[in-house]
Amino acid sequence: MHTQEFGCEPCWPTDAPAAWRARDGLNRLKELIDESHFIVAILVCPQCDQRYVSIFTEMIDWAEGEDPQYWTLMPITEAEAEDLIQQDTSLIEMSLNALEPERRSLRRDHPKAGPPRVFWGNGVVVGPHD
C-alpha cells in the first residue's frame, strides 16, 4: 500500500506543536471563506509548494468571552486545491468534509475552559461556528 507523502520538514514536521508553529511560515494562496467565525483558506509552503487547507471555526456563546475556537490544517494535492478554488463562493462544508478522511491533519482546539491543545487527527473537521 502506497502512502502519499506531503510537505517538507520545515512546513510539515512530525511533531504536532512544531507543525502548528510551522503554520506561521505558510503563505496564503487563496481565501475561500472569510466570515468572522468561519474562515477557510488555501495556504502554501514557500519552500516545497505544498498546499494546505486551513479551516478556522468559532462558536460565540455570549458568556464571559473566551469563546471556543477550532483549527484544522491538512495538506492537499494541487488538484484538490484547484477544485476548492474553482468552487469559489459555492464552497460548502460538505466539499471540505469530502476531502480524504484518512489523511493526517493537524488540529488545534481552544476550548472555553482550559488551555489550547494541538494534536494530530485525520481528515477535515469543520467545527461548530456562528
**Digit-coded pLDDT (tens) for 90-115:** 788 888 988 999 999 999 998 877 89
Query: What is the average pLDDT score of the chain?
Result: 89
Distance CA(28)–CA(15), nearest Å, equals 22
CB atoms near residue 47 (< 10 Å): 13
pLDDT, residue 103, reads 95
Residue 43 phi, psi (nearest 5): -110, 160
pLDDT tens for each residue of 50-79: 999 999 998 887 776 678 889 999 999 999
pTM of the model: 0.90
User: Which residues touch 85 (CB under 8 Å, ≥6 apart)?
Assistant: 30, 32, 42
pLDDT, residue 2, reads 39
Rounded to the nearest 5 percent, the helix, strand and coil shares of the chain are 20, 35, 45
Residue 15 cell numbers, joined: 511533531
Q: What residue has cell string 502554501?
A: 44
As a residue count, the chain comes to 130
pLDDT category of residue 4 using cuts at 50, 70 and 90 = low
Answer yes or no: is pLDDT of 3 > 70.
no
Mean pLDDT of the 3-32 span: 93
Mean pLDDT of the 19-29 span: 97
